[in-house]
Structure 1
Amino acid sequence: MRLEINNVTKKFKHKTAVDRFSMVIEVNDCVGLIGPNGAGKSTLIQIIADILSADEGYILLDGQKISTKKDQIGYLPQYPNFYSWMTAFETLLFMGKLSGISKSHLHKDIPLILEKVGLEKEAQAKVGTFSGGMKQRLGIAQALLHKPTLIIMDEPVSALDPIGRREVLNLLKEIKKETTILISTHILGDAEEICERFVVIKDGQKIEDATKTQLLNRSQESAIYLTIRKEDYEWLNQVENLPYVKGIENFGDGFKISVQQMEDDAYRLLQHGMDRKIGFKKFEIGVRESLEEIFLALVVKV
């Protein structure tokens, strides 16, 4: 399986939702499409799923137009909509018939799919009684029902409570072992847990495409992380003017200080503070850059 997105553009009146976007996804990839709200993620996802048409560009799956390969795609919208009066089994039976799957195959496959998503005991329960996490798992079941080679998910866990989110994330970890996945989300922590590659989109344009390791290696920098008493904050004005200090940034409940020669300068800085009786609550040396910080830096600065 190879998905190719080539210079896709989509406009709505005077707004360009997706702007000349290109990317390639290979078999068994698990890719996180990351971006802030309004970045164009959902629009791009719907174009890939052939729900919306692109104004420009094209999408190929295994070298053929995506519109001819829809049977190879499983799609989970952000808010899957089911008939509340149907049972889980009836829902999948109904969805499967719409997809052209034979009744005999459905009666054989549905119990297996429900077991896969952890809903085998709820097969005859009405969907209207399901929690958000259960409905999302049922949505994943319907996306898997026709055995697609590519599953596309739009914000699969953003609307769930912590328990529902954990259920779905654990399920996705299992699914990615045997299926290619593209997930859109604005919550980087969720994507970080299951994806090996991240494509960042902002204002409809791709601004980054890299693996987790590449992002961390590119952005990591040893620094001094310290927390001091509020009454000692004025000391930072002196620190900023020290010849070996390259910069000071807010970090968590304290500050990140970049210096030139880590070991020597850390000792000098600590001694400088102690000489002035600064109340250190924390003084640490190391790498503390997270993907969340890298993402924020990309989105804010680009």
Structure 2
Amino acid sequence: MKLEIRNVTKRFKQKTAVSEFSMELETGQCVGLIGPNGAGKSTLIKTIADVLHADEGEVLLDGQRISNMKREIGYLPQYPNFFPWMTANETLLFMGQLSGMSKQKLLAKVPVVLGKVGLTGEENAKVQTFSGGMRQRLGIAQAILHAPAFIVMDEPVSALDPIGRREVLNLIQEIKKETTILLSTHILSDAEEICERFVIMKNGKKIEDTTITELLRRNTRVSVSMEIAPKDLQWIQLAGELPYVKKIEVKGSKVEFTLENPQQQKNMLLKTALNHDVDIVRFEAGGRETLEEIFLNLVVGV
């Protein structure tokens, strides 16, 4: 199956939350939709799940409008809203019947799904007694109960404490072996851990769509990075006058030098620093930017 998002635009009064957004998602992928708060991620996720309707454009699954294929989509909202007085078992039976599953099928399927999300033994516990991580696992259970081809998740771990976050991340790692996942998040380390492909949003628009390998490859540094003691920061001004230094960026005690020919001139720069008794904490030639640095450059321009 293929999920196609074609030029989707969604407005709320005078604000455009998603603007002419297009992408495709193939079966077997785990894709991270990442961007800062307010980028339009949640609006896009809800449009894909057919909770919201696009003002322009369309969402297709296997060439058909998503409204006709909703049974093939599992949806985990950012804050799953369950009846607190229901048990986990009752919640899934209720949600399954809303999805059109027969009671007979549900009686067989619910215990299996509860086991898959690590809630065996909690079948008869009321939802109001659940921790945040347990509620999120129950949310994932209702999303996969009807065996959908695709699961869309809206910020699945952002509201959880470290223990609950780790539980849910481990669960997503297991689920992605069996189904296709699109999840939104602004927590870059989570996306880096579980997603093979990144789609980055800014101001409702797609600004990047790539794999993490390609993203890091394209952001290989051709500069020299140096971390020096605070007492030696005045040396930076002198280094800026060297003929082979094209640009200097200072971020606290970290200094990044763009050189005309890094391979040949990195040792010259190091020698100059040592000749001026600069206390060097760290020296690195080349290397790659972290995902966080790349993200900031893309969405903030720092």
Identify the TM-score tier after normalising by the shorter chain.
over 0.9
Q: Look up the match of 1:98.
A: 98
Alignment partner, residue 229 of structure 2: 229
CA offset at residue 133 of structure 1? 0.9
Distance 1:273 1:244 in 2: 14
How far did 1:144 drift? 0.3
Q: Output the TM-score relative to the length of structure 2.
A: 0.96
Query: Which structure 2 residues correspond to residues 159-174 of structure 1 after superposition, within 5 A?
Result: 159-174=159-174
Maintained 8 Å contact 2:228/2:279: yes
List structure 1 runs of 4+ shifted beyond 3 angstroms.
Answer: 250-253
Alignment of 1:39-118 (within 5 A): 39-118=39-118
Question: Aligned pair in 2 of structure 1 residues 139, 253: CA closer, same or farther (>3 Å)?
Answer: farther
RMSD: 1.5
**Which residue matches 1:142?**
142
Task: Name the SS for the 1:84 alignment partner.
Answer: coil
Structure 2 counterpart of 1:19: 19
Q: 1:245 to 1:40 in 2, by over 3 A?
A: same
Distance 1:286 1:110 in 2: 53
Residue of structure 1 equivalent to 2:123? 123
Distance 1:165 1:255 in 2: 35
- Secondary structure, aligned partner of 1:122: coil
The alpha carbon displacement at 1:253 in A equals: 5.0
Deviations 1:11-31 (CA, angstroms, capped at 9, x unpaired): 111111111111111111111
Q: Is residue 2:64 matched to residue 1:30?
A: no
**Equivalent position of 1:290 in the other structure:** 290
* Partner amino acid, structure 1, of 2:211: T
**Aligned match of 2:244:** 244
CA positional deviation for 1:271: 1.1
Q: Distance in 1 between matches of 2:79 and 2:177?
A: 25
Tell me the CA shift for residue 301 of structure 1. Answer: 3.1
Query: How many residues are paired up?
Result: 302
Aligned-partner SS, 2:121: helix
Structure 1 alignment gaps of length 5 or more: none
Question: What are the ranges of 5 or more consecutive residues in structure 2 without an aligned counterpart?
Answer: none
Deviates more, 1:118-127 or 1:15-24: 118-127
Alpha-carbon distance in 1 for matches of 2:81, 2:131: 13
Identity among equivalent positions (%) equals 62
What letter matches 1:166 in structure 2? R
